[in-house]
């Protein structure tokens, strides 16, 4: 194996996963900026952090190696020479929101580099910078905005087979998050040779936007990608071209699925997830707007060809057997139950091993339906974390899954 990324399915036994337990960045979400920062409400930070730690413990108790983003970024930074370290800090300053004038930039940089160690420095970069922290007085409390969505580690990059997609995020508040993924995959000895099937750092190309919540690996031959508000056709075609040009990549087909913009349904994994070899959880809200396209990676001419198919027939064509479809909130659920459980990410479970999943305990009706379908459901409280609009799948990026036995 040529690198340390291995992700050829949605359900293979999860061995290593990247997460980010939030810190001060979620203490800096003010009510007037909720829409801008992509939150539905102000979080109670201590409870949110406690909830995330409970999530991590479930993973660790299940035999998964849990790697914190801030630890991995700091570990990478520590191995850089002084020039590259400074380049990373300067890049972060370049991307800071709001933009910094020369005087503020110097003060902010001094504050960042005065950190007692690299992990504290990375955390300061993630948390944003308050005026009081750099000894100035101004009307606005923040000199540099926080990155409160970082606990959704699914989105800045995505593991695909033995490579990654280094993503281009749609909204300004999230684009800066990719800097930590770029640091790791450019410089960490374990990951720097990882192939990139999409590379947002390539400034010479207009490749569209794409986020990890839209990227699924159904099996070693098929990718499924949501064509959503945040992932467009242009990006899907870019990934297809790069996969096709990689001689070691064996994917043969990409299925794109329409994800129209609706409240709290920004990615495909808020509509549809694979939980076992033949079991899928979906929101019935998707059926009225269902659309598919197929990209045949074995052909020279890459085109997205629209297909007229039902959800069940499309899934059957991928897995080679009749799928079992489990509706969110269970069979015969009413519109209210469907909408509530969909809103609080009832489809957004993370698979630990085939048929064993983890997600919020607030999705009671969906958990009951899954249990009745033979799925083992591990739950943790997510009343605060869910206000950021994502659950266990959103909060995890698998780095290594065991390959499924053929």
Mean pLDDT of the chain, nearest integer: 93
Q: Quickly count: other Cβ atoms within 10 Å of residue 309's Cβ.
A: 16
At 294 the pLDDT is 95
Q: What mean pLDDT is predicted for residues 113-131?
A: 97
Which of 241-255, 361-375, 385-399 is predicted with the least confidence, judged by mean pLDDT? 241-255
Q: Is the pLDDT of residue 376 over 90?
A: yes
- CA 182 to chain CA centroid, Å, is 15
At 186 the pLDDT is 96
Of the pLDDT bands very low, low, confident and very high (cuts 50, 70, 90), residue 1 is very low
Residue 16 CA to residue 68 CA, distance in Å, equals: 11
Structure confidence by residue, pLDDT tens digits, 135-177:
999 999 999 999 999 999 999 999 999 999 999 998 888 999 9
At 3 the pLDDT is 65
At 263 the pLDDT is 64
119-133 burial: b if 16+ Cβ within 10 Å, else e: bebbbbbbbbbbbeb
- Can you read off the two tokens belonging to residue 32? 């007037």
- 340: phi then psi, degrees, rounded to nearest 5: -65, -50
Any idea which residue has 């969505």 for tokens? 149
Q: Quickly count: other Cβ atoms within 10 Å of residue 30's Cβ.
A: 11
Question: Known catalytic residues?
Answer: 394
Q: What mean pLDDT is predicted for residues 355-364?
A: 96
Of the pLDDT bands very low, low, confident and very high (cuts 50, 70, 90), residue 109 is very high
Q: What mean pLDDT is predicted for residues 13-41?
A: 94
Contact 230, 211 (CB under 8 A): yes
User: pTM of whole model > 0.75?
Assistant: yes
- 380: phi then psi, degrees, rounded to nearest 5: -145, 155
Helix (H) or strand (E) holding 307: strand 305-307
Give the 3-state secondary structure of residue 11.
coil
Q: Quickly count: other Cβ atoms within 10 Å of residue 83's Cβ.
A: 8
Give the 3-state secondary structure of residue 282.
strand
Structure confidence by residue, pLDDT tens digits, 204-215:
456 789 999 999
At 203 the pLDDT is 57
**Are β-strands 14-19 and 65-68 bridged in parallel, bridged antiparallel, or unpaired?**
parallel
Contact 79, 188 (CB under 8 A): yes
Q: Is the pLDDT of residue 201 over 80?
A: no
At 289 the pLDDT is 84
- Which residues lie closer than 8 Å to 377 by C-beta, 6 or more apart? 349, 357, 358, 359, 367, 370, 371
Of the pLDDT bands very low, low, confident and very high (cuts 50, 70, 90), residue 375 is very high
Residue 164 CA to residue 181 CA, distance in Å, equals: 10
At 38 the pLDDT is 86
β-bridge partners, 293: 256, 306
Residue 70 CA to residue 147 CA, distance in Å, equals: 13
Structure confidence by residue, pLDDT tens digits, 279-321:
999 998 888 888 999 999 999 889 999 999 999 999 999 999 9
Indicate the DSSP class of residue 21: -
286-305 burial: b if 16+ Cβ within 10 Å, else e: beeebebbbbbbeeeeeebe
**Are β-strands 356-360 and 376-380 bridged in parallel, bridged antiparallel, or unpaired?**
parallel
From the DSSP assignment, how many helices (H) and strands (E) are in the chain? 12, 19
β-bridge partners, 253: 222, 296
124 or 202, which is more confident = 124
Q: What mean pLDDT is predicted for residues 261-266?
A: 71
Q: What mean pLDDT is predicted for residues 54-76?
A: 98
């Amino acid at each position: 194996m040529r690198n340390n990324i291995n992700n050829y399915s949605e359900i293979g036994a999860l061995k290593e996963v990247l997460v980010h337990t939030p810190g001060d960045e979620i203490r800096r979400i003010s009510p007037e900026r909720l829409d801008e920062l992509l939150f539905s409400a102000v979080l109670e930070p201590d409870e949110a952090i406690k909830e995330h730690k409970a999530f991590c413990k479930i993973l660790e108790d299940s035999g998964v190696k849990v790697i914190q983003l801030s630890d991995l970024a700091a570990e990478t930074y520590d191995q850089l020479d002084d020039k590259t370290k400074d380049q990373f800090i300067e890049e972060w300053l370049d991307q800071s929101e709001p933009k910094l004038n020369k005087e503020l930039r110097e003060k902010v940089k001094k504050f960042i580099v005065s950190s007692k160690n690299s992990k504290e420095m990375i955390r300061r970069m993630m948390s944003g910078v308050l005026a009081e922290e750099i000894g100035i007085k101004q009307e606005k409390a923040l000199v540099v905005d926080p990155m409160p969505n970082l606990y959704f580690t699914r989105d800045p990059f995505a593991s695909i087979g033995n490579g990654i997609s280094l993503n281009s995020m749609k909204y300004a508040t999230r684009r800066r998050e990719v800097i930590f993924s770029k640091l790791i995959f450019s410089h960490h000895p374990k990951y720097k040779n990882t192939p990139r099937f999409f590379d947002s750092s390539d400034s010479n190309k207009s490749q569209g936007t794409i986020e990890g919540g839209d990227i699924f690996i159904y099996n070693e031959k098929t990718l499924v990608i949501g064509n959503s508000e945040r992932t467009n056709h242009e990006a899907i075609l870019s990934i297809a071209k790069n996969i096709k040009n990689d001689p070691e990549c064996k994917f043969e087909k990409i299925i794109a699925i329409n994800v129209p913009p609706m409240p709290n349904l920004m990615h495909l994994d808020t509509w549809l997830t694979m939980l076992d070899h033949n079991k899928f959880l979906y929101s019935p809200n998707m059926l009225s707007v269902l659309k598919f396209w197929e990209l045949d990676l074995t052909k020279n001419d890459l085109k997205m060809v629209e297909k007229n198919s039902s959800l069940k027939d499309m899934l059957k064509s991928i897995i080679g057997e009749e799928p079992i479809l489990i509706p969110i909130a269970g069979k015969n659920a009413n519109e209210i139950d469907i909408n509530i459980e969909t809103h609080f990410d009832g489809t957004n479970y993370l698979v630990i091993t085939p048929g064993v999943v983890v997600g919020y305990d607030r999705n009671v009706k969906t958990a009951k339906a899954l249990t009745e379908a033979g799925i083992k459901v591990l739950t943790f409280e997510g009343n605060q974390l869910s206000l950021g609009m994502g659950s266990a799948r959103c909060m995890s990026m698998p780095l290594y899954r065991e390959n499924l036995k053929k």
